[in-house]
Amino acid sequence: MKKVVVGLSGGVDSSAAAAILHNQGYEVVGLTLWLMKGKGQCCSEGMIDAAYICEQLGIPHQVVDIREVFQTNIVDYLVSGYSAGITPLPCSQCNKTVKFAPMVQYAREQLGCDRIATGHYAKISYNSASKRYELLRAVDRNKDQSYFLYDLSQDLLAASVFPLGDFQKADTRRIAAEYNLKTADKPESQDLCLVESNGSMRAFLDKYLAPKKGDIVDGDGKVLGQHDGVHHYTIGQRKGLGIAAAEPLYVIGLDAVNNKVIVGDRTLATESECTVQRVNWVSIAEPSTPIRAEVQIRYRSKPVPATIIPLEDYRVRLVFDEPQFSITPGQAAVWYEKEKVLGGGIIEQFS
Ligand SMILES: Nc1ncnc2c1ncn2[C@@H]1O[C@H](COP(=O)(O)OP(=O)(O)OP(=O)(O)O)[C@@H](O)[C@H]1O
């Protein structure tokens, strides 16, 4: 029998993924990664729900304590990024370094198995001509999580299965109900796990970063107001500046070195190009000449046409056909050809 390790967070998606594979005749092992202390979506309650699902399906359940890796790769990464004036995206980094790589390693070394599965909404296919695993958007475009998976290596894609890639979310719930799974009606998570477990990103950051008062200035350096730490701001932010002005003002720059938040009108938060670092070419090998693609600069942003110009050291320059509002250093830019993820990386700070 084919063996597969299914990552169980205690939510409906991963529960249904495990049930589907179990029903298809796989030997399924449930694995929950213990990510952080205290209450949280996948911690405490999540682990108990995952154990319950495994009992319902009659499969083994294992828990791996990975809190130190999560602390270093996600919590410390976020805190140092925000204090340097960028807005880091934790999810793609978490998928690669906290979830997929450790799960594949555990499956191979401890369970003698080369396959893992998750409840992510995305698809993987093998292109025999290019000999590459390709990452594709999910059929349910509203749930599609391919944006967060752009950083997976060929080795990790080769080892992974996404049983929900062809499903609508409503189908997942229906299947979970058919199997009578305890998690069938469990509510959706609404936000980042750290935001859910701390109440807000501000509350999470306040646990690690002391307030640091400074000036809010315009592009000419004129002081317009006060802030309590650059880590509380993000590029493109309009609300919460506490400045009365005739025209709406937006954050257009974060100068962590001089502890200044720079604001300006909307046009000043609009750029026609940016550079991206730590690029991972997913479905295609790195091209040697510029390519055209559709780029998403945020999870929910509309894909927009752009030219991707390869640079040295895993970097690219993105030149957008139309200028884009609020290109945010630290967030991921992910470029697609129709449904296919070509590559992605982290938006660099503007000089
Ligand atoms: N702590 C964890 N341990 C093991 N696998 C996990 C864990 N957290 C998430 N995963 C896997 O990653 C997938 C996507 O996680 P995400 O946090 O996006 O949750 P989700 O889309 O709400 O899914 P679910 O309904 O399964 O919680 C999950 O379906 C699960 O397979």
For residues 99 and 40, state if they share a domain.
Answer: yes
> What pLDDT sits at residue 89?
94
CA–CA gap between residue 278 and residue 197 (Å, rounded): 29
Q: What is the CA(94)–ligand 1 centre distance, in A?
A: 11
Query: Is there a domain that residue 206 lies in?
Result: no
Q: What is the CA(197)–ligand 1 centre distance, in A?
A: 15
Range of the domain at 305: 270-347
CATH of the domain at 294: 2.40.30.10
Question: Among the three residues 198, 233, 253, which one is the final residue of a domain in this structure?
Answer: 198
Instruction: Identify the band that residue 42 occupies on the pLDDT scale cut at 50, 70 and 90.
Output: low
CATH of the domain at 194: 3.40.50.620
**β-strands 3-7, 116-117 pairing:** parallel
pLDDT in tens, 144-194: 999 999 999 999 999 999 999 999 999 999 999 999 999 999 988 877 888
The answer to whether 16 touches 164, Cβ cutoff 8 Å, is: yes
Query: Is there a domain that residue 203 lies in?
Result: no
Q: Which of 54, 94, 113, 274 is catalytic?
A: 94
How many residues make up the chain in this entry? Answer: 351
Q: Is the CB of 44 under 6 A from ligand 1?
A: no
Q: Is the CB of 13 under 6 A from ligand 1?
A: yes
Instruction: Identify the band that residue 36 occupies on the pLDDT scale cut at 50, 70 and 90.
Output: confident
> What pLDDT sits at residue 349?
84
pLDDT in tens, 267-307: 999 999 999 999 999 999 999 999 999 999 999 999 999 99
Q: Is the CB of 33 under 6 A from ligand 1?
A: yes
Q: What is the CA(84)–ligand 1 centre distance, in A?
A: 29
For residues 57 and 125, state if they share a domain.
Answer: yes
CA–CA gap between residue 74 and residue 94 (Å, rounded): 7
For residues 57 and 169, state if they share a domain.
Answer: yes
> What pLDDT sits at residue 132?
98
> What pLDDT sits at residue 34?
93
Q: What is the CA(36)–ligand 1 centre distance, in A?
A: 14
What's this model's pTM, rounded to 2 decimal places?
0.95
For residues 184 and 72, state if they share a domain.
Answer: yes
For residues 155 and 278, state if they share a domain.
Answer: no
CA–CA gap between residue 111 and residue 344 (Å, rounded): 32
43 is an active site residue: no
Query: Is there a domain that residue 204 lies in?
Result: no
Q: What is the CA(6)–ligand 1 centre distance, in A?
A: 10
For residues 34 and 132, state if they share a domain.
Answer: yes
54 is an active site residue: no
Q: Is the CB of 144 under 6 A from ligand 1?
A: no
Is the confidence at residue 39, as pLDDT, over 80?
A: no
Q: Which of 12, 14, 156 to mutate to test the pocket of ligand 1 (most atoms within 8 A of CB)?
A: 14
For residues 287 and 146, state if they share a domain.
Answer: no
For residues 230 and 307, state if they share a domain.
Answer: no
**β-strands 116-117, 27-34 pairing:** unpaired
Is the confidence at residue 43, as pLDDT, over 80?
A: no
Q: Is the CB of 102 under 6 A from ligand 1?
A: no
Q: Which of 6, 8, 9 to mutate to test the pocket of ligand 1 (most atoms within 8 A of CB)?
A: 9
Average confidence score pLDDT of the chain: 94
For residues 190 and 295, state if they share a domain.
Answer: no
Binding-site members for ATP are 7-14, 33, 119
R_g (Cα) of the chain, nearest Å: 21
Which regions of the chain does DSSP assign to beta strands (E)? 3-7, 27-34, 61-65, 116-117, 123-127, 132-136, 160-161, 214-217, 223-227, 250-255, 260-264, 270-281, 291-296, 304-310, 316-325, 332-337, 340-347
For residues 233 and 108, state if they share a domain.
Answer: no
For residues 279 and 327, state if they share a domain.
Answer: yes
For residues 189 and 237, state if they share a domain.
Answer: no
Q: Is the CB of 35 under 6 A from ligand 1?
A: yes
User: What is the number of structural domains in the chain?
Assistant: 3
Q: Is the CB of 8 under 6 A from ligand 1?
A: yes
